[in-house]
Chains A and B, each alone.
Chain A
Amino acid sequence: MIQGTVGRFGNWLVELAQSMGEQALLVRSAFGWFLKGRIEWRQFLVQVVRVGVESVSLAVGCNLFTGMVLALQTGASFKNLFNEPLFTGTIVSFAMVKELGPVMTALTVSGRAGAAIAAELGTMKVTEQIDALYTLGTDPIRYLVIPRVMAFLIVLPVLTLFSDYSGVLGGCLVATFKLKVPVSVYWHDVFDHLGHQEFFHGLLKTYVFAFAIAFICCFKGLTTTGGAEGVGKSTTSAVVYSMTAVLVLDYFVTAVLVAIGLA
């Protein structure tokens, strides 16, 4: 029994190492094609629409309610502690711009666009469409991966800015109508403390998230095996891995940004 457990653990380690190696090769190959300057601009624009335009309402909606609940929790807690909902605008804006905006947007986009990418590429893999790309003179990394990674890198920061704004706006609605904080006081709290540094802090994270989500979802799609069941499995694991990567990377990127003084 112990031997079996050790064996399974060993197999898992080998598979993990193999998967990481394959992902590294995918990233290397993608950089190679990118540096050759052979960009599929039409595919890129299609992906910008799919990843970005079609995710705006979801990201904005989710972050609006995140800002609202943040204002409600902060206001209620501060009211209990200090008898006044102090600095609601400051706390909501800092949390949204530096942390929740980038993370929540990355999570919603990985759940929506990331899953769609993994499912689409997975279906292409099991129906031999990926092989067909090779036989027709192109490469799936050039035709499929690069446009998607570029779209994520362009779109996610923009979506995050929309999300930041909607979250702060949501906080304003709750602060004004529920906590009875004057609108001018809320916005004063926001702009009195929030600077460019906080925006850069949040935006820098989104580039790391975009890179991770796009590559993980493309990789999972391109390595799909086993028909419809395989597509389902790779889509699920693409979402799980990309969401986990966002949360884990968030800590490490924050730690680096704090260390270099961009906090």
Chain B
Amino acid sequence: MIRVVGLRKNFGSRMVLQGVDLTVESGETMVVIGGSGCGKSTLLKCVIGLVRPNSGLIEVDGADVTRLHDEVEIADYRRKFGYCFQEGALFDSLSVWENVTFGLKYLTDVPEGRYRAIAQEKLELVGLREVEELRPAQLSGGMKKRVALARAIAAEPQYILYDEPTTGLDPIMSDIISDLILDLKEKLGVTSIAVTHDMRSAYKIGDRIAMLHDGKVLGVASPKEIKTTTNPYIRQFVEGVSQGPIQMKLRDYD
């Protein structure tokens, strides 16, 4: 279980997270939606310990992440997570299979002789074959996302964090990635947080959806409830209309 309480983070004078409260139950996929720059990715990076919050609590399986300072403690903590980056963040200098198995050396005790077989197994799980020897530059956007997914699950984490898993993909590929996320949840039984502004994907993969706005969680509900919500902020966002309360804030930033 992941429990976030009163999380605050600012970059210079810009307050990004202003007291986020969120609980993700074991085995569920929590989708965090919200406009660009509202702090969704920062929230994920705080959870995995890439960004240190100014204040607040992040509890994972009962342990407070914000109190970890030692490099070894933080590395141990990160063992629990797989992180799927927005643009994949694949290492250009390594082949696909080396990318997929990169974390095994540091996160597990798996002998090196098994890496190749594990890479093949994980790549097949995300629907990729005969790409092991290719370099990331030779892959399409959708393939990169899938390789990033394979890398995120290679060390068999308990939690997977998805940062905009469908951004930049065509609608069909977006749906394929959404299906993959559902498939991985079913096969691996992982707990996930996915940040996105792709509502089609959010409805499909999310057990619950949380809306982040102005650095706070406006509400958490099931996809069904979100579709029929009366909250004007959430309604405006999920319907994708320019007129409404959120637009006023965006104009303030302009």
Given contacts A128-B89, A131-B45, contact A137 B75 (CB under 8 A): yes
B85: CB under 8 A from chain A?
A: yes
Q: Which of A124, A131, A132 has the most CB of B within 10 A?
A: A132
Given contacts A131-B45, A131-B50, contact A136 B87 (CB under 8 A): no
Given contacts A136-B103, A137-B103, A137-B107, contact A128 B48 (CB under 8 A): no
Alpha-carbon separation in the docked complex, A134 to B78 (Å): 8
Q: Please state if A135 and B78 are interface contacts (CB–CB under 8 Å).
A: yes
Q: Please state if A127 and B48 are interface contacts (CB–CB under 8 Å).
A: no
* A: contact size bracket: 10 to 19
CB distance from B254 to the nearest CB of A (A): 20
A129: CB under 8 A from chain B?
A: yes
A138: CB under 8 A from chain B?
A: yes
Given contacts A134-B50, A134-B78, contact A128 B103 (CB under 8 A): no
Output the nearest chain B residue to A46 by Cβ-Cβ distance: B93
A139: CB under 8 A from chain B?
A: yes
Provide the residues of chain B in CB contact with A124, threshold 8 Å: 91-92
Q: Please state if B78 and A128 are interface contacts (CB–CB under 8 Å).
A: no
Q: Please state if B91 and A137 are interface contacts (CB–CB under 8 Å).
A: no
Provide the residues of chain B in CB contact with A123, threshold 8 Å: 92
Alpha-carbon separation in the docked complex, A138 to B91 (Å): 14
Alpha-carbon separation in the docked complex, A137 to B79 (Å): 7
Out of B71, B81, B87, B105, which one reaches A135, CB within 8 Å?
Answer: B81
List the interface of chain B (C-beta within 8 A of A). 45, 48-50, 71, 75, 78-79, 81-83, 85-87, 89-92, 102-103, 105-107, 151, 155
The 3 nearest A-B residue pairs measured at CB: A137-B106, A136-B103, A128-B89
